[in-house]
Amino acid sequence: RRALGSLGKSRAKFISAEETTGVTFDDFAGQEYIKRELQEIVRILKNDEEFQNKGIYCPKGVLLHGPPGTGKTLLAKAIAGEAGVPFFAANGTDFVEMFVGVAASRVKDLFASARSFAPSIIFIDEIDAIGSKRGGPDIGGGGAEREQGLLQILTEMDGFKVSTSQVLVIGATNRLDILDPALLRKGRFDKIVRVGLPSKDGRFAILKVHARNKYFRSEEEKDVLLQEIAELTEDFTGAELQNILNEAGILTARKDLDYIGQEELLEALKRQKGTFETGQEDSTDIPEELKLRLAYREAAVAVLACHLPDPYCPIIETDIKSIRSQPNMRYAEISGRVFSRKNDYLNAIVRACAPRVIEEQMFGIDNMCWISSKATLDASRLAEFLILQTGMTAFGKAYYRNQSDLVPNLATKLEALRDEYMRFAVEKCASVLREYHSAVETITDILLEKGEIKAEEIWDIYKKAPQIPQPAVSP
Ligand code: ADP
C-beta neighbour count of 230 within 10 angstroms: 23
Q: Are residues 424 and 457 in contact, defined by beta-carbon separation less than 8 angstroms?
A: no
User: Mean pLDDT, the chain, as a whole number?
Assistant: 85
- 388 CA to middle of ligand 1, Å? 26
Q: What is the pLDDT of residues 208-257, one digit of tens each?
A: 999 998 999 999 999 999 999 999 998 899 999 999 999 999 889 988 89
Phi and psi angles of residue 163, each rounded to the nearest 5 degrees, phi first: -155, 175
Which residue's alpha carbon is nearest to atom 17 within ligand 1? 239
Residue 198 CA, closest ligand 1 atom number: 23
pTM over 0.80: no
Residue 74 CA, closest ligand 1 atom number: 6
* β-strand pairing of 61-65 with 167-173: parallel
Q: In a mutational test of the pocket of ligand 1, which residue from 74, 125, 126 has the highest number of ligand atoms less than 8 Å from its CB? A: 74
* 3-class secondary structure per residue, 149-194: HHHHHHHHHHHCCCCCCCEEEEEEECCHHHECHHHHCCCCCCEEEE
For position 243, what pLDDT does the model report?
Answer: 92
Question: CA 115 to CA 42: how far, in whole Å?
Answer: 18
Q: In a mutational test of the pocket of ligand 1, which residue from 173, 213, 242, 244 has the highest number of ligand atoms less than 8 Å from its CB? A: 242
- 382 CA to middle of ligand 1, Å? 25
- 257 CA to middle of ligand 1, Å? 28
Residue 68 CA, closest ligand 1 atom number: 4
Residue 64 CA, closest ligand 1 atom number: 3
Which residue's alpha carbon is nearest to atom 5 within ligand 1? 71
List 156, 298, 359, 435, catalytic entry: 298
- 73 CA to middle of ligand 1, Å? 7
Which residue's alpha carbon is nearest to atom 25 within ligand 1? 28
Gyration radius (Cα) of the chain, Å: 25
For position 124, what pLDDT does the model report?
Answer: 95
Residue 30 CA, closest ligand 1 atom number: 23
For position 238, what pLDDT does the model report?
Answer: 95
Q: What is the pLDDT of residues 456-471, one digit of tens each?
A: 999 999 999 998 888 8
- 361 CA to middle of ligand 1, Å? 35
- 22 CA to middle of ligand 1, Å? 15
452 catalytic per annotation: no
First to last CA, the chain: 58
ipTM score of complex: 0.98
For position 1, what pLDDT does the model report?
Answer: 40
* 3-class secondary structure per residue, 3-14: CHHHCCCCCCCC
Which residue's alpha carbon is nearest to atom 18 within ligand 1? 238
- 206 CA to middle of ligand 1, Å? 9
For position 394, what pLDDT does the model report?
Answer: 85
Which residue's alpha carbon is nearest to atom 27 within ligand 1? 238
For position 370, what pLDDT does the model report?
Answer: 81
Angle, CA 195 vertex, CA 49 and CA 63 arms, to 5° = 60
Q: In a mutational test of the pocket of ligand 1, which residue from 35, 70, 194, 226 has the highest number of ligand atoms less than 8 Å from its CB? A: 70
For position 190, what pLDDT does the model report?
Answer: 81
For position 53, what pLDDT does the model report?
Answer: 64
Which residue's alpha carbon is nearest to atom 14 within ligand 1? 74
pLDDT < 50 positions in the chain? 1-2, 8-11, 137-141, 276-283
Residues with CB under 6 A from ligand 1: 28-30, 68-74, 172, 206, 209, 238-239, 242
Q: What is the dihedral of CA 358, 359, 365, 371, to 10 degrees?
A: -140
For position 139, what pLDDT does the model report?
Answer: 43
Nearest to 92 by CA among 64, 58, 119, 130: 130
Residue 28 CA, closest ligand 1 atom number: 24
Amino acid at 222: K
- 310 CA to middle of ligand 1, Å? 36
